[in-house]
Amino acid sequence: MREAYQSDLRHIVDDLVDMADLVGRALEGATRSLLEGDLGLAERVIAADPHIDERQVELDAKAVELLARQAPVATDLRLLVAAMRMSSSLERMGDLCAHVALVARRTHPSTAVPEQHQEQIARMSSLAGAALAEAAQVIAERDLALAAQVEKDDDEIDELMLEIAREISRGEGYSNRQVVDLTLLIRFYERIGDHAVSLVRRVGFLVTGDSLDTLHESVDVPEF
């Protein structure tokens, strides 16, 4: 009985890692569809998002069932509460990937990202993907060794957001529509980075036993 319960808890952690994997693939596909103008790929990313949503519904249902059946306390209770929050972050990250793909679809066959920003957007995406993969490892192993790296990746994402916002603001030759789209895109990537940070901080609260298992992101409007 006790053993089955521990195995249920372990499954919840596995489910979070699986969700992170799905989101990572969505992110990669979304950015590729955006930069390469691949409409079919954009469609697939958009169509796959409900599967990530379903995974969250399932994970949360399991967590609530364990709360009801096992009445956990202390660490186990905190793990379940944290897992429900992490599943929300992952689900939201999936939405943001779908948002990127929606911009790719809307602007096809032209691209939303002007030539001079393609490398920056590719870098924002690869940093976000790295942060997510690191966060998944932190979740899987409950080991905070990689936590600092996730924060560093997120800082670099924020820097790139500011850099792009600054270049747009001072630059010429953009259509208004390009500016709207680019602004939305850099905001989406920035939010994905924020959520990756939020994931590792929640594991941090679990590991350190800090009572503060609620997390507040720094207020994040570009001061460009």
In the complex, the residues that contact its own copies under the rule CB under 8 A are 46, 49-50, 53, 56-57, 60-61, 64, 67-68, 71, 73-74, 77-78, 81, 84-85, 88, 91, 95, 98-99, 102-103, 106, 165, 168-171, 174-177, 179-180, 183-184, 187, 211-214, 216-217, 219-221, 223
Cβ contacts of 173 within 8 Å, gap of 6 or more: none
In the complex, the smallest distance separating the C-beta of residue 72 from its own copies, rounded to whole angstroms, is 8
Rounded to whole angstroms, the Cα distance separating 72 from 68 reads 9
In the complex, the smallest distance separating the C-beta of residue 162 from its own copies, rounded to whole angstroms, is 11
> Which CB, 78 or 201, lies closer to its own copies?
78
> Which CB, 56 or 125, lies closer to its own copies?
56
> Which CB, 140 or 168, lies closer to its own copies?
168
Rounded to whole angstroms, the Cα distance separating 55 from 91 reads 8
In the complex, the smallest distance separating the C-beta of residue 181 from its own copies, rounded to whole angstroms, is 9
In the complex, the smallest distance separating the C-beta of residue 14 from its own copies, rounded to whole angstroms, is 19
In the complex, the smallest distance separating the C-beta of residue 58 from its own copies, rounded to whole angstroms, is 9
Closest CA to 188 of 23, 11, 72, 60: 23
In the complex, the smallest distance separating the C-beta of residue 159 from its own copies, rounded to whole angstroms, is 16
Contact of 97 with 23, CB cutoff 8 Å: yes
Rounded to whole angstroms, the Cα distance separating 84 from 47 reads 24
Task: List, as one string, the DSSP characters of 103-164.
Answer: HHHHHTTS-SS-HHHHHHHHHHHHHHHHHHHHHHHHHHHT-GGGHHHHHHHHHHHHHHHHHH
> Which CB, 123 or 187, lies closer to its own copies?
187
Q: At what angle do helices 115-141 and 2-36 cross, to 10 degrees?
A: 170
Rounded to whole angstroms, the Cα distance separating 222 from 224 reads 6
Contact of 66 with 9, CB cutoff 8 Å: yes
> Which CB, 54 or 143, lies closer to its own copies?
54
> Which CB, 9 or 130, lies closer to its own copies?
9
In the complex, the smallest distance separating the C-beta of residue 56 from its own copies, rounded to whole angstroms, is 6
> Which CB, 4 or 221, lies closer to its own copies?
221
